Amino acid sequence: MATKTETQRGEVVQSADQAVDRTQRSADELLVRDDADESPVLSVVMPTLNEEDGIRTCIDWIKTAIEELQVPTEILISDSSTDRTPEIAREMGAVVVEPDGKGYGYAYRYAFERTRGEYIVMGDADTTYDFTQIPRLLDHLEETGADIVMGSRLDGEIKDGAMPTLHQYIGNPLLTRFLNTFYRAGVSDAHSGFRIFTRDAYERMDLETTGMEFASEMIMDAGARDLQIEEVPIIYHERKGEETLDSFRDGWRHVRFMLVNAPGYLFSVPGMLLTVFGAAVLLTAHTGIEIGAMTLGTNSMIAGSLFSILGVQVGSLGVFATVASDPIQKPNDVATSWIMENATLERGASAGLAVFTAGAVYATWLVLDWALRGFGSVPFTTSSLLAFTAIVIGVQLVFSSFFLSSVN
């Protein structure tokens, strides 16, 4: 009777319409080279930039995994090296491609487009990821029906010297929390580079970045498309070769990419909070309502006016960003969603004109009252501040509507 694992791996082979010989085959026999007629079931992709110290070990690990899985596999090296990395990889049976652009993300994308397997594994070629663990990730993918399975370093074991303390306890956990909050990824280690995913999942994602933020983009895009992401704990090893990661520069690239692709969190939510808070303070001060033993005065009303104007401006930027940039995670708050679905130039301009008119009429009445009083000194009144706040917001809405129409 076949074991559960054997049955699952049989399903993997069948899903790719492969007829795998049940006799044990060596890794070299299962390795599909670029001139082979046989189609691979599994594609393993590694980007390399002068990784001659680690590439041999990584390919040996992959071959160990291939022998355990007993499925035809191709190894693709996306190489931009000036050392012996590509020669070593070719000698060991890997297919080497040379991307025509720069960047970590571009190297992956270039290679992914040339893979043929139904399942794609990605990982760095610096010996930090143990590729003998590929069967564990593949088994979990089959057991759970997930689209993507990641190896979690933070839920697993990190060897001494493998990851800087700043990355382990601050950088990676913080970036993971951001990503889970903004994109509902639900993972423990968002920036682990050891992953396996189905070809269908890859084709459903729209990956565009070229740099280190590519690792974030994949999880962000998968989360936004409701792809199922699972994790298994892994051991993270010390790298071989020179470190190429710049902690602050690459960390900022991840944060920047997450923020600009989530305008709801960057603009819409802050804009609504500022507007509501500002309007509440403005109206409370204008009506003289007491809050406990406190009464808001002129200074509070000025602050409320500024917060209201700022909130409308920031909220407008959320709508502009959504329309102009087509972000991965579109805003889902009620106000922005309604605007995106219903806003037209005519409606927006009419609403702005109505607010402007209300403020202008109120201001005109104040001016007439001032004239009737003989154009004496003009004392500051809460009414005048309320009127001019409405005028400013009305003008903002009118011109924002025209701008939105021009970019939509």
| Segment 279-311, tens digit of pLDDT | 999 888 888 887 877 778 888 889 999 999 999
pLDDT, residue 12, reads 54
One-letter amino acid identity for 238? E
CA quadruple 49, 54, 56, 61: dihedral sign = negative
Options 3.30.420.40, 1.10.287.3510, 3.90.550.10, 3.40.50.20; CATH of 4-260: 3.90.550.10
Q: Say if residues 138 and 4 touch (Cβ distance below 8 Å).
A: no
Q: 83-88 — which CB contacts under 8 Å span 24+ positions?
A: 83/50, 83/52, 84/52, 85/48, 85/50, 85/51, 85/52, 85/55, 85/125, 86/48, 88/52, 88/55, 88/56
Q: Mean of the pLDDT values across residues 105-124? A: 97
Q: Are 309 and 258 in contact (CB under 8 A)?
A: no
CATH 3.90.550.10 domain extents, the chain: 4-260
Which are the contacts of 113, defined by CB distance < 8 A and separation ≥ 6?
none
Residue with tokens 């992709």: 45
CA separation for the pair 197, 147 (Å, rounded): 6
pLDDT at residue 76 is higher than 80: yes
pLDDT tens digit sequence for 201-245: 999 999 999 999 999 999 999 988 999 999 999 999 999 877 766
Mode of pairing for the β-strands spanning 42-48 and 73-79: parallel
> Could you read off the pLDDT of 338-356 as tens digits, one per residue?
777 777 888 889 999 999 9
8 A C-beta contact, residue 24 and residue 47: no
Query: What's the mean pLDDT in 391-396?
Result: 94
| DSSP classification of residue 237 | P
Identity of the highest mean pLDDT range in 153-162, 259-268, 398-407: 153-162
Dig out the tokens for 53 from the structure. 């110290």
What is the model's pLDDT at position 379?
A: 60
Determine the Cα–Cα distance for residues 49 and 67; give it in Å rounded to an integer.
27
Q: How high is the mean pLDDT of the chain? A: 88
- What is the CB-side half-sphere exposure of residue 14 using CA atoms within 13 A? 7
The stretch 112-130 carries a mean pLDDT of: 97
pLDDT at residue 336 greater than cutoff 80: no
How confident is the model at residue 13, as a pLDDT?
45
Q: Would you state the pLDDT for residue 374?
A: 78
Amino acid 287: pLDDT = 83
Average pLDDT over residues 359-363: 90
pLDDT at 285: 87
Q: Which residues contact 176 (CB under 8 A, 6 or more apart)?
A: 154, 187, 188, 189, 190, 191
Position 21 scores a pLDDT of 46
For residue 62, what pLDDT is reported?
98
Averaged pLDDT for residues 87-92: 96
CA distance 106 to 114: 13
pLDDT at 8 over 60: no
Which run of H or E residues covers position 155? strand 148-158
Summarize the confidence of residues 94-110 as an average pLDDT. 96
Mean pLDDT across 171-177: 91
Residues 6+ apart with CB under 8 A from 107: 47, 78, 80, 99
